[in-house]
Amino acid sequence: MLENWSFESKIKTNQNDPWSGLSIDYKCDWPKQLILSPDAIDKYNALFKFLFPIKRVQIELQHVWSQKVRSLKHLDREPVFKLAMQLRQHMSFLIDNLYSYLQVDVLEGQWQKLR
């Protein structure tokens, strides 16, 4: 049974970005603490600190597309607008595939090995 959890970090690496210090604090009773040791929690925190910015970029790129397409529909024939949207599309493609690779191929594969 989960005794305590928290997503609040005591360390803020970037004061302008509240997500920058996001971490896990998980305390459990014996014998679960043998598997979820403080060292394992630190490794999870490192993994989350790596994955969260990638996911945030993915969400922002999707948001830019949905907002700009609606609000700037009249500019869709402008060359600069087309180039900007192509750049966003290429960036989104890269980030989507990177995140998918990390989630499906790397993490899921390791999870299957663990199980």
Supply the pLDDT for residue 99.
93
Listed as ranges, residues in the chain with pLDDT below 50 are 1-3
- pTM across the whole model: 0.66
Supply the pLDDT for residue 112.
86
Secondary structure string (H, E, C) spanning the chain: CEEEEECCCCCCCCCCCHHHHCCCEEEECCCHHHCCCHHHHHHHHHHHHHHHHHHHHHHHHHHHHHHHHHHCHHHCCCHHHHHHHHHHHHHHHHHHHHHHHHHHHHHHHHHHHHC
- Ordered domains of the chain (ranges, CATH): 2-114 (1.20.120.1900)
